[in-house]
Amino acid sequence: MDTKISYAGILRRVLACVVDGVLWMIIAFVSLLFDLDNVDKNMTILMATLLITYIIFNILTITKYGCTPGRLLCSVRIKDANTFKNVTLMQSTIRYIFREGIWVIYSFLSYLLPGYVSGCLFIILTLVLMFAIFDQRKQTFYDKIAKTVVIDYKPS
């Protein structure tokens, strides 16, 4: 029996990332509320702790469940491109490093370079994401590197 795989489109993937970002901003805000007296002294430690927690949480939930909370709400899952099983810890880590690496490089360069250059970088970044629109399996370059796909998930 053949199963038809439906690959998740770029808009649902972006929406899932936005949902994840909003959830983590809420967590960060609540964390700040509990330590308002020492915000100035502990801000760096708090932000580093939240960032490390965010990274580890994303990698582990994608490895274990195939999704993050945002992806769960948007009904998409990250799977191995060949077997369609949950990704390995290594695949999840590689995917995360390359995905976030793009944003870190873009943010860093747009801060350092003049406005028109950062505009060009934004266009390049948009083209990288649009690559998924025209790909048969809707894979971004970091999906290809990690050998993963993002699929629509419909519970049976």
Alpha helices in the chain (DSSP H): 10-33, 39-65, 69-73, 89-112, 115-134, 141-146
Whole-angstrom CA distances from 5 to 38, 39, 110, 136 are: 51, 48, 38, 12
- Domain spans of the chain, in order of start: 10-152
pLDDT, residue 3, reads 65
Is the pLDDT higher at 121 or at 94?
Answer: 94
* Structure confidence by residue, pLDDT tens digits, 95-145: 999 888 877 777 777 777 766 666 777 777 777 777 888 888 999 888 999
For the question of whether the overall pTM of this predicted structure is more than 0.95, the answer is no
pLDDT, residue 41, reads 65
Is the pLDDT higher at 122 or at 12?
Answer: 12
